Amino acid sequence: MSPKVGKVYLIGVGPGSQDLLTVKGLACLQQASVVIYDDGVNPDLLDKAPFGADVIGIGSSQISDDCPQQDILSLLKAHALSGKTVVCLTYGDPLTSVCAGLETSSLVQAAISFEVVPGVTPGFAAATYAGIPLSRTDRLSPLGLMTGPLNSAADLDQIDLNHLMKGVASLVLYPGFVKLDKIAHRLIAGGCDAETPAAVIFNATLPEQNVFTGALKAIADAPPEQFSKTPTVLIVGEIVNLRPEQSWYGRGPLSGRKILITRAATEADRFAHALADLGAVPIVCPTIAIVPPPDFAELDAAVAELDRFDYLILTSANAVNAFFERLKLSGRDSRTLCNLCVVAVGPKTAERLDMFGIKADLVPADYRAEGVVTLLKGLVTGKRVLYPKAARARDLIPRALTASGAEVVQPLAYASEAPPGTAEGLIQALESGLDLLTFSASSTVSNFVELIGANRLKDVCKLPVASIGPLTTKTCQKFGLNVVIEPQDSTLEGLIDAIVEYYS
């Protein structure tokens, strides 16, 4: 019996920012068995695919003159005919891409069910993020949109530019692989005034977005190296002159600052989004990954006798996650903690506890192990304390509380290690030029130094560093790193505020 035929979703992801994926597109992506994407797709979107999904990258359907269409069609049909749910992520909007028409026709012929999920059109998104309004409420504003990229100068010969420019007030086009000076010369030769305002937008909607504005003749006469990278969009028309009063993107206090994030990938997203909202260009290169300990036997044994403990100390969100995962696997839930005094090292750990239905009974004023010790040392005499810890945690809490007369049980809850392939990403980030390094734990510092190697450390020590707290700062200083930022509160929010203050 042949398998039931699956379904294909052709999803437009917009021009760059992962935040522009539609709610519908995200919902479809999260149920995919197979994800096929072109190289115009933001790779961060791939993290939103279900765990275990096959993720296949193949060529470019938007800015290449060699669209691997037969390869894409073969993959779509093969996986769908085997009964799988297939998602094809496409730069921009599916039905304005170069190959989408062929894809839909081929799926119809193969009797494969499909759905097209629109994406934000790159030309419109680029104009919006550049602060260029494509229409006016006070006048009629005919607009020309050339949806296919220009892959060679010969493509320009197929267009009657003189006729086109007479019929529109503004023109939006995708330069593709045609040099901008050639396009500008053709537009002028086709009847467009050389003084017409124009905007060239690079990396549209991304933190590293860059916009050049000037007269069309300035683009025509520009040296080749000025526009060596392929832009997202070229906009020509008087509307470009409205940009100074409409521009909004990239004006934050950290505008253009390239900031390295080294915390674990599972925790980096929120930090990266917060920095991007402030105008920064976050570069995520995790130097640690949270992994299970070699053995859960000690933690499981402690979980099995929770009724014999008086205090539960949790010093990170990772410890919370690990503890409650083992609690669930034991067949019990949060009600088991009803007679325990639950201590969270800080507000973020308390916030994670809240997700499991538990309110922290105690949170120290100092969000460090020192704060926990100060809070508890007069309370735990003769008490049993459960402290699920990280593999390389300091011994301050168990040592100090034992000295105060407590019995402290400290099973391993999780460990950390350097993710594979991180060294290459770090070196590439350093070579691209960074404005700031950030570290949220001593382990991120130690792994960073080990990954980049001793031969690069001398140059790295010249870069400014933001450290989340005193202990991390101490580790940075041990390696000679230049710590210039340390927040008063050892929290992510405190670190962000301190970075903003430093650059203001």
pLDDT one digit per residue (tens) for the chain, 504 residues = 456 889 999 999 999 899 999 999 999 999 999 999 988 898 889 988 988 899 998 865 444 444 456 678 888 999 999 999 999 998 888 887 656 666 788 888 889 999 999 999 999 999 999 999 988 777 677 888 887 666 666 777 777 777 777 778 888 988 876 788 888 888 888 788 999 999 999 989 988 888 999 999 999 998 877 887 777 799 999 889 988 877 888 778 998 899 999 998 888 988 998 998 898 989 999 999 889 999 999 999 999 999 999 999 999 999 999 999 999 999 999 999 999 999 999 998 999 999 999 999 999 999 989 999 999 999 999 999 999 999 988 899 999 999 999 999 999 999 988 888 788 889 989 998 999 999 999 999 999 999 999 899 999 999 999 999 999 999 999 999 999 999 998 889 999 999 999 998
Q: For residue 389, list its beta bridge partners.
A: 412
What is the sign, positive or negative, of the torsion defined by CA atoms of 221, 184, 128, 206? negative
List C-alpha distances in Å: 446 to 119, 402, 418, 440, 484. 42, 29, 10, 12, 18
Q: What's this model's pTM, rounded to 2 decimal places?
A: 0.70
List C-alpha distances in Å: 180 to 105, 123, 169, 430. 34, 16, 20, 30
Name the residue type at position 87.
Answer: V
Is there a shared CATH topology between the 124-246 domain and the 258-288+418-503 domain? no
What is 7-120's CATH superfamily? Answer: Tetrapyrrole methylase, N-terminal domain (3.40.1010.10)
List C-alpha distances in Å: 242 to 130, 135, 202, 209, 451. 10, 11, 19, 18, 47
Domain boundaries, the chain: 7-120, 124-246, 258-288+418-503, 292-415
| Distance between CA atoms of residues 495 and 296, nearest Å | 33
| Distance between CA atoms of residues 174 and 251, nearest Å | 25
| Distance between CA atoms of residues 117 and 129, nearest Å | 22
Q: What is the third-level CATH fold of 124-246?
A: 3.30.950
- 292-415: in CATH 3.40.50.10090: yes
Give the 3-state secondary structure of residue 293.
coil
Architecture of domain 258-288+418-503: 3-Layer(aba) Sandwich (3.40)
Q: For residue 270, list its beta bridge partners.
A: none
